[in-house]
Amino acid sequence: MTDFTTPAHDVDYAIRLDRLDKIYRGKDGKPGKHALKSLTLDVPRGCIFGLLGPNGAGKSTMINILAGTVVKTSGAASVWGVDIDDNPRQARANIGIVPQELNIDAYFTPRETLDMISGMFGVPKAERRVDEILEEIGLTDQAHSYARTLSGGMRRRLLVGKAMVHQPPILILDEPTAGVDVALRQKLWDMIRELNRNGVTIVLTTHYLEEAEALCDRIAIINHGTLITEASTEDLLKGAGSKTLVLTLEHPPQTMPKALDAFATSLDGNQLKITYAPDKMAAGELLSRADAMGLKVVDVRTEEPNLEDVFLTLVHQDEA
C-alpha cells in the first residue's frame, strides 16, 4: 500500500476546484470560448472518480489546468492539498496524466521508456521503481521488447506506467480504453482497480458509460463548462426516477388495456413492459392492477435504469 502524505487541512480531498473559470482568447483579443464556468467540484481521495460529459463539455480544459498546460482565467484549484498558484511545481508533481493519444517512442523498450521518464522527473537512479511499475502494469515479460511490437492494450498500460514513475497520489486517465477490444478493456479495468486498491486516487474520463458504471465510486457530469450533477454512482442510479416492470403474460392482450394509459408501456410478444416512478407507485400496486384487468402473469422482473439513461436524461435537460 502506497503511503501518500496529505496536508492536515485538506485530508479528505484529492482535487478541489472552487469557481474555476476559463475563457479562451478569441480573435482580435476579444473573449473566445467560455470553456469552464464557475466550476466547483471536490474529488475525495482514495476513490475512482468518473468525469463525464459530451465532447466540448470542458473536461480536457479542466485536466489541462490541473496539469499546468492551460492557465485558468479565475477561480482556484488544488491538487492533493497544494494550490496550483501557490506551488505549481508540487501541484503538478502530485498528479499523473495518462493521455488518450499513444505517445510512445516505438524504438524504446518499456524498461528504457520508464527509466528515461523517471530521469525527466528528476527521480534519482537509486529511487527509481522501474521493475515494480512493470509488474504493476503487467509488462514484466515485455520489459525488453520494442514498444512498436506491443499490442494496443500493452501500449495503454505503458502510458499508465509513464504517469506513475514519480509516484503521484492521483492518476487522471483520459479515455484509457478508447479503441481497445472488450477483452483488453477488462484487463485495463482490473489494472485500474488494483492501482486504486494500492492507494491511488483515479480520475477517469470515458465515453463508455458502462465503464464508468462498473468502475467509479462517484461521478460528475459536466456540460458547457458547468457542473450538472455530482454524486455517488449508486445515488445517481437510484435517482434516475423510473423503473420498468416486465410482466410475462400467459395470454397477451390484443390491445393495450386502457387502465395503463397513464404509463409508458410496450408489448413485445407475451412480455408487457410498464415504466413507472417508484416514488409514486409500488410494483405491488401495478401487479394488483394487472390482476384486476384479468392479465395472467407467469413471471415478473424489474429493469433498473443504467448510467446511460441517467446521462442522456441529465444532458437533455441541460440542453433544454
pLDDT over 70 (residue 155)? yes
Secondary structure of 279-309 as H, E, C letters: CCCCHHHHHHHHHHCCCCEEEEEEECCCHHH
Would you state the pLDDT for residue 38? 96
Q: Tell the CATH topology of 241-303.
A: Alpha-Beta Plaits (3.30.70)
Distance CA 19, CA 288 (A): 51
pLDDT grade for 260, boundaries at 50, 70 and 90: confident
Would you state the pLDDT for residue 301? 83
Domain residue spans in the chain? 241-303
Choose the weakest-confidence range: 66-70, 86-90, 132-136, 302-306. Answer: 302-306
Choose the weakest-confidence range: 110-124, 188-202, 272-286. Answer: 272-286
Global confidence as pTM: 0.78
pLDDT over 80 (residue 251)? yes
Tell me the pLDDT tens digit for each residue of 79-131: 999 999 999 999 999 999 998 888 888 899 999 999 999 999 999 999 999 99
Choose the weakest-confidence range: 44-48, 138-142, 151-155. Answer: 151-155
